[in-house]
Amino acid sequence: MGSLFDILDFAGIGLGRVQSDDEMTVIPLVGGDRGNIARPSSLKFERTTGYGSMQFSNEDDKPAIVPSNMMVRGTGGQDHAMSGCGIILAKSTKSFNDACCIEETQGGMLSAEGNDEDILPIELRKTLLNYGKRTQKGYSKLWNDIKDWLRGMNLGRDSAHLRYFYDNKSIGQALEDFAASFEPIENQIGAVIMFNGIPVGIEIMPSADHWDAYWQHLLRGCYGAELLRMKKLGKITPSTLILPDIPEDASPAEVKELLTEFSDHLREEVIPALERISVSDNRRIGSITSGLETRMVITDSGGGDIILQDSKPIYISLVL
């Protein structure tokens, strides 16, 4: 089916300067707005209407996008996450009845206020790349995966409460510190995220406003959380980028040149890495509404969602 790079349509997207913190490297993707999509502030989580059902509203006169696997954690009800991404038409409200409960033994419904929002961590997102599971209406469908994900971190009882992780004081602080190490740059609409030099995610939003609204959910809640878990479980080799040797007699001007080349090289490395990822499945999810089409893409090691508007990709969220 070709390489991932061919499908993504990077026309009009540039690469920003590489940012890194220990094992994680982020290559910012910069560009103009990619679609005619509602401002992120128009999208609101309204409530859970039942176990496994999340309701969102859009007050804009353009359609809005709910980012893939968005999770909502509140104090008054059972925490939930989306099984994929979502589209809310202009000036309307929509319930997603294939959502997942992520807090096994808690009862009650979430309301609009007082919630924390994030995106599910990578490994849990990957379990929802199974088409059957993703579209299944069953609020408990992620419980076993959450238990597996939490196992080994000694965070509490053996139940599927994802908030055991996010509410842990030291983990919360570590995630905040981690997110603070990265900064959105001007006109940033997305990023390629790598662990130890290997791409683990590609995120492209419809506009820089969207990236501003969701970058922390992604870098802290999704990628940062997964990296922290991997470190806790010893599943990743501690590393930092190998910095280039600077000859002892290099003048300041030569140092500048050498390191500028190094930064540019890091940035350019990402393109062949994406070209090496092949796509095994690329199918439409649901029907085309208001010119918007959702597709699920499966790659060698992961996959995710792409939303096209008038056949052009405007939203991409893939875990690899």
Partner 1 sequence: MSEKDFQIDSGMLQFVPKGAYYEDQNEQIKAINDTWSAFFNYDRTLFCLTTLLNGTGFSKGAMSHMLLSNPQAVTGREIVPAGLAFDYESKVIMYNLIKERTPRALKNLLMLAGKEGKRRVNNSRTRHLILEYVFNRDHHELDNLAINYKGKLKTLIRHALGKQELTKILFGDHQLFMKRIGRYHPDAFPVMCYVFNRPLQKNVVYTRFAKIDQVQELSKAAKAGDVDSFKKHMKGLPNLTVMGYRNTYKIPVELSIVYEKAKMGSRQSLQMESAAKKAGTKIKVNYKNQDIYDLWKAFYHKVTIGDQSNIKEVIEAIRFKMDSKKKIDIGEVVIVIDASKSMQGSDTRPLHPFLTALSISSMISNVKDVLYVGGKIHPQTDGVIIPSGATDLWRGLVEAVLTGTKKIIVISDGYENSVKGLFDHVYKHFKKSGHDFELMHINPVMSADAKSGTVRKLTEDVTPLPVSSHKYLETEIIFNQMIENREIVKQLLIGKYKNLIGG
Stretch that binds partner 1, among 148-156, 176-184, 196-204, 289-297 (CB under 8 A): 176-184
CB of 239: closest distance to partner 1 in angstroms?
11
Of 3, 9, 19, 285, the residue at the interface with partner 1 (CB under 8 A) is 19
Q: Is 185 in the site for partner 1 (CB under 8 A)?
A: yes
Of 61, 113, 158, 248, the residue at the interface with partner 1 (CB under 8 A) is 248
CB of 19: closest distance to partner 1 in angstroms?
4
**Site size for partner 1, by CB under 8 A?**
30
**What's the CA gap between 62 and 68, in Å, rounded?**
19
Alpha carbon 47 to chain centroid distance? 22
CB of 185: closest distance to partner 1 in angstroms?
4
CB of 20: closest distance to partner 1 in angstroms?
4
**What's the CA gap between 33 and 37, in Å, rounded?**
9
Q: Where are the beta strands (DSSP E) in the chain?
A: 14-15, 19-21, 24-30, 43-50, 53-58, 64-66, 70-73, 80-81, 86-88, 92-96, 100-101, 116-119, 188-195, 198-204, 279-289, 292-299, 303-309, 312-319
Choose between 11 and 253: whose C-beta lies nearer to partner 1.
253
Give the contacts of 183 (CB within 8 A, at least 6 positions apart): 19
Q: Is 180 in the site for partner 1 (CB under 8 A)?
A: yes
Relative to beta strand 100-101, strand 70-73 is unpaired
Q: Is 40 in the site for partner 1 (CB under 8 A)?
A: no
Q: Is 11 in the site for partner 1 (CB under 8 A)?
A: no
Q: Is 182 in the site for partner 1 (CB under 8 A)?
A: yes
Give the ranges where 269-293 is alpha helix by DSSP (H): 270-275
Of 7, 15, 25, 29, the residue at the interface with partner 1 (CB under 8 A) is 25
CB of 198: closest distance to partner 1 in angstroms?
16
Stretch that binds partner 1, among 77-85, 97-105, 191-199, 238-246 (CB under 8 A): 238-246
* Nearest alpha-carbon partner for 225 in 278, 142, 163: 163
Of 67, 184, 199, 304, the residue at the interface with partner 1 (CB under 8 A) is 184
Place of tokens 């791409």: 199
Taking residue 40's Cβ as centre, other Cβ atoms within 10 Å add up to 19
Relative to beta strand 292-299, strand 303-309 is antiparallel
Choose between 257 and 275: whose C-beta lies nearer to partner 1.
257
Q: Is 186 in the site for partner 1 (CB under 8 A)?
A: yes
Give the contacts of 312 (CB within 8 A, at least 6 positions apart): 9, 34, 35
Q: Which residues bind partner 1 (CB under 8 A)?
A: 16-22, 25, 28, 180-186, 240-241, 243, 246, 248-250, 252-253, 255-256, 259, 263, 266
